Structure 1
Amino acid sequence: MLSQLPTPAKMSQEAARKLPRYALHALLAVFILCGFWARDLWTLRDAASFGIAFTMAEGGARDWLLPNVAGAAVHAAGPLTGWISAIFIKLFGSLAGDVQSFRAASLFWFALSTAGIWYATLWLARRPEVQPVAFAFGGEASPSSYSRVIADCAVLLFVATFGIVTRQHEAIPETAFLALTSITFLSLVASLRRPYLGAFCSGLATGFAVLAYTLFAGIWLLAGAIVANAALRSFPGNRDRRILLLIAASILPFALWFAAAWSVAPQATEDWFFAWALSQSENFGLVSLSTLAWIGKNFVWYLCPIWPLALWGLYSWRWQLDRTALFLPLILTGTNIFAAIFSSSQSADAVLLGCIPSMASFAAFGLATLRRNRKDILDWFSVSVFSLGVLTLWTYWLAWLTNFAPKMARSIAMLAPGARPAFDTGFVAALCVTVIWFVFVSWRMTHRPVVAWRGPWLAAAGMTAAATVIFGLYHHAIDINRSYEPIAAEAAALLKEDGMREGDCVSGTKLPPGVRAVFSYYGHIPFAPDGNLSACRYRIERSHAGLLPAGMLGTPIARPHTDEVFYVLSIDAARRASPLEEAAQSADNVLDAIK
């Protein structure tokens, strides 16, 4: 009599042949390290995180506990992401520079994400109820080989997911939340063997999610962990004790943070946390129509290629889910998708991040149930899409270099005026990775490999090749298009020309944290802290092209190919101009009355 119920997974020992460790580690290293060709901060969310971390690294205990950018409090997220980045800046800032040291923190979060997914999937795949069906004459994959190849596929599918590419190269709260979601998933899987330790660790991970990202994200991650403990029968130990331990551990990080801040600056802590609570409350509520529209239009590519495999896995394992621990990643995925409905002000793509680790793991189990001809679909999708993408990137670069295709070259020149192709280390890396990618393509087109990891490997290698070519060939052009360093330097020059003295301050109350960070770092502009603006002689405003404000110094400052404009204003000149403006307005009113 069979001691094990049949499962839809079928895998031979040959298909479970080990993916070389050096190959997996090399691919992961190239994927995450290619972002280091970026010299400047390319997004305002990246700049805001850098501003918080740099303020911590240069400041005192209050700056570490109450996040701010050059004195302006930031309540959108907790301090954990800034802590990790500030540590990297303190350790490596003098060697690699502050920006590159800050960017190195993304290595930490990427390592947590991939390690959490790999070990969680490995431990799930080792459970007896999810082993592949035994063949009549033997030859099925052993539990160790099967679990290892499923874990490898989960990590490769995670790397190949379109939605994480930009996030993983930025040390921002969303990236930290993605990593802590993976650790929560890992801790819950560990609860299947050590229930109380796993419950405690998963609670800590959800608590740290509040410190790293938002209260909304932490609460819904905690809700998923509670539902998993309550609904899954595979967990040993007393259910009520596990849940109580889980909740208590989730409160601990926040309580320690608040207590430490209160001991350092009681009044400032009270004001900061009151504003933080108001900011966090805005995340709770029904999702906006614009967010729903974005998700409806973009989830197909954002969660590609894991969502088709996850859906197929749901169909294949439908009769075994209530008897296996595979219900666990489904609970976490479903909870995060359900949470998106009640997210009122989270960014549209951020609401999908929480479901990626568990969905990638479940997709790997879905892959194990596919027939060979259906597995080939992922192979050919990866070969065609990424080959076309890499060739297109090289075609544009050659047009940019030779001007052979004027329209293509002109499109790059419009986005990055003055940029020229460079034969540097980025070019060499892009060329090498391109050659290696087409070697993989040639291998796949001339062979019929049976290894289960071939499709995920091609998808992850294609994504890595595309990312490396973009960063390697176009990093200088993207620096010109996205960097705020020239803007900050021009604003600083205007202030210096106007006779700004030592001890003067600049008001930037209306500037976003990211803009304030780059102006403070690159331009060394002394912004006034919150509540200390009355003595400032200057102000910087951010707007869109339009009417010129009174008291403006020089001309408006703008970045290439955008309507974003910055005005450097002299408050004294603006006050002198205001009576004249009032007289002109009165004259216009009189003329209108006569008419």
Structure 2
Amino acid sequence: MPAQAEHARFRGVPLPPNGWTLVVLLVLYICTGLIGHDPWRNDDAVTIGIVHDLVTSGNWLTPSLAGRPYPDAPFYYWLAASCSKMLSWLLPLHEATRLASGVFTLLALGFIFLAACELHGREQAPAAPLLLAGSIGFLFHAHEAQPMLATLTAHTAAYWGLTQLDRRPLRGASWFGSALGLGFLANGLAAMLPLLPVAVFVVWRSAHRQRLAMLLLGSLLFACALAGGWLAALFVTSPEYLAAFLQGELTQLGANGQPLLAVQRLLLMLPWYAWPASPLACWALWAKRRQWTTTPLAMPMFAFVVSLLMVGIAIGARSAPALLLLPPLVLLAVPGVASLRRGAANAFDWFGMITFSLLALLAWIGWCAMVFGWPERLARQAVRLEPGFVGHFSILGASLALLGTLVWCWLIVTSPRSPMRGIMHWMAGLTLFWLLIVTLWMPWIDYGKTYRQVSASLAKALPEKRHCIAGANLADSIIASLDYFDGIRTILATSTAGKKCDWLLIHGSPRDGSSPAASGWRKVWDGGRPAERRDADRLHLYQRDARRGGSSPGR
């Protein structure tokens, strides 16, 4: 008896994971990396720039970027700005903004778990959040300021609502309508369109079609009321902004001139983007091929096909919108976990353990090279990639990384045999790898990606009193970063006001081929991030030469 008790004490986490084990693992994975680094380029910097503008200007109705109108759905920015205001005493704005992503991501994982409970039962449901969080594409966006995460949450909530329609029709319709309306406020119409055919499909398959059709009609009216509140306020106070927003929505729906090519690219992306959900979904389809007409398979199958087509046609083959393909694929993959044959399950388990153990070892070796200079060849490569970086030992970061590594070793030794062992190890290994990147590598990554030093250098080159700065070739992420770090705002060089500015900031070379120097401008500064050595990657600041009467390039 004592031997049995001792064995039970060290047998590891139960599988399927119970509530608290699952919650702790997912919260650790999601919350790691939301803080501790500056805004980076692309969506992260743009979103933080919009939230910064919203907080400083106080104009919550019409989001803008560095003083320029930025017609976009506002729901993510509202929650992010609320987080930044509530936590301004504790965190800088960019870190508090990313906490909104953490909130939406955790909600999405909760809703996909509830939807899986309805479709596949409580015993298999824990696989759903593990598969969603463990998808490679999900990792790319879950830790950045990303409005598409709010849309992903709306989709998972809508699927949960639809799976309840037969059992609890009123509650299911209410959740579906709420998700549809808030999803529109999070990312506009195009991202929510795939849910409408899925709702029609669910109603068509039900034995109570007429009742469910009326309930869903009511939920659509409720969704319109939610979205219409913001649109009505714009109509009254900012009709120009409303017109720009609606025009952008219509343009997006018809902007993709090659929809079949976009769908093909999404299909080619899915094997790695949705790994390991994609192969498990394929296995579930094969293993359950005689059950395709049942709701647990038919609904996610139809939802995936519709989402694939409509995302490809209306949004395009980009990484962030591809997040919307994950929920139906995950719901389809859940029965594949339990039905996986023992040999395949063991192979997947060993693949995950070996892969992440090797990645953890490489992460530690790379950290040693950056901090201690060994191995020397790898240390020289790290400095070559990010010139000027000097690594420093952090006892807190190293301690957390060591603790995570020890927990990983304990987990792979003690986990009991279970069909869910492979996906549990995959998710735990991904969490370890991300924890090591954040605790050991983040200073090196942040050094190469931030625009903080570039913005500070540019601010020193500019006089305190200046009329305006014209900008050319500046991406939204650069505009957002300069405004966020040092309050440097530019106006379009081709605009009437921009042609009168005495300062000109260009990223790379003018697209029309004209030379600022030939147009009567004198270069006074250039700069870029450490790895940006080519002129095409750097920022160039020019001052109008009064003696030559310079004009903006392209004038």
TM range (shorter): 0.7 to 0.9
Q: 1:353 aligns with which of 323, 327, 331?
A: 323
- With normalisation by structure 1, the TM-score equals 0.82
Deviation at 1:554, TM superposition (A): 2.4
Aligned counterpart, 1:520: 483
Q: 5 Å matches for 1:380-395?
A: 380-395=350-365
Q: Percent identity?
A: 26
Q: Which residue of 2 aligns with 1:221?
A: 195
**1:300 maps onto 2:271 in alignment:** yes
Corresponding letter in the other structure for 1:70: A
Q: Which runs of 5+ in 2 are unaligned?
A: 1-12
Separation (CA, whole Å) in 1 of partners of 2:546 and 2:153: 50
Deviation of the 1:578 alpha carbon = 5.8
- AA paired with 1:79? P
8 Å contact 2:162–2:172 — kept in the other structure?
A: yes
Mapped to 1, the partners of 2:282 and 2:96 lie a distance apart of 40
Shift of 1:450: 3.0
Q: 1:292 to 1:236 in 2, by over 3 A?
A: closer
Q: Assess, with a 3 A threshold, how the Cα gap between structure 1 residues 163 and 519 changes in structure 2: closer, same or farther.
A: same
Q: Which one of the candidate residues 35, 47, 52 is aligned to 2:33?
A: 35
Does the 8 Å CA contact 1:228/1:332 hold for their aligned counterparts? Answer: no
Q: Is the 8 A contact 1:121 1:361 kept in 2?
A: yes
Cα drift, residue 116 of structure 1:
0.6
Q: Which amino acid aligns with 1:401?
A: V
Hey, what's the Cα distance between the residues in 1 that align with 2:337 and 2:138?
20
Normalization by structure 2: what TM-score?
Answer: 0.87
Conservation of the 8 A alpha-carbon contact between 2:115 and 2:159: yes
Q: In structure 2, what is the equivalent of residue 81 of structure 1?
A: 76
Q: CA contact under 8 A between 2:544 and 2:550: conserved in structure 1? A: no
Correspondence for 1:501 = 465
Q: Does 1:253 align with 2:220?
A: no
Q: Distance in 1 between matches of 2:318 and 2:247?
A: 23
| 2:105 aligned with 1:110 | yes
Question: Does the CA-based 8 Å contact 1:66-1:272 persist in structure 2?
Answer: no
Q: What is the match of residue 175 of structure 1?
A: 149
Contact 2:188–2:249 (CA<8 Å) still a contact in 1? Answer: no
Match of 2:8 in 1: none
Q: Please provide the CA RMSD for this pair.
A: 2.9
| Paired position in structure 2 for 1:158 | 132
Correspondences of 1:200-219 after superposition (within 5 Å): 200-219=174-193
Q: Deviations over 1:517-553 (max 9, x none)?
A: 1101102214459985466432322225998633244
- Once the two structures are overlaid, the 10-residue window that deviates more, 38-47 or 346-355, is 346-355
Task: Give CA-to-partner distance per residue, 1:63-119, whole Å, 9 cap, x none.
Answer: 3222211221223x4111111111111111232111111111112111211111111
More deviation, 268-277/202-211? 268-277
Q: Give SS of 1:38's match.
A: coil
Q: Kindly provide the amino acid, as one letter, of the partner of residue 62 in structure 2.
A: L
What is the deviation of 1:248? 2.6
Offset of residue 375 of structure 1: 1.9
1:593 corresponds to which residue?
none
CA drift of 1:259 comes to: 0.4
SS at 1:428's partner residue?
helix
**What's the offset of the Cα at 1:287?**
2.9
**Structure-1 residue corresponding to 2:96:** 101
Residue 71 (str. 1) matches residue 96 (str. 2): no
Give CA deviations for 1:99-145 in whole Å, capped at 9, x if unaligned.
1111111121112111111111112234xxxxxxxxxxxxxxxxxxx
- 2:426 maps to 459
Contact 1:208–1:253 (Cα < 8 Å) also in 2: yes
The answer on whether the counterparts of 2:259 and 2:312 sit within 8 Å (CA) in structure 1 is yes
Alignment correspondent of 2:47: 49
- 1:479/1:509 CA distance change after superposition, 3 Å: same
CA contact (8 A) 1:71 1:528 kept: no
Given residue 473 of structure 1, which amino acid in structure 2 is its aligned partner?
A: L
Q: Out of 245, 249, 270, which is 1:273 matched to?
A: 245
Partners of 2:280 and 2:491 lie apart in 1 by: 53
Task: Work out which of the two has the higher radius of gyration on C-alpha atoms and give 1 or 2.
Answer: 1
1:475 aligned to 2:442? yes
Alpha-carbon distance in structure 1 between the residues aligned to 2:330 and 2:51: 31
Match of 1:7 in 2: none
Match of 1:336 among 307, 327, 330: 307
Q: How far is the alpha carbon of 1:299 from its aligned partner? A: 2.2
Deviates more, 1:18-27 or 1:515-524: 18-27
Say which is worse superposed, 368-377 or 278-287, in terms of deviation: 278-287
- 2:400 partner SS: helix
Letter in 2 for 1:64: W
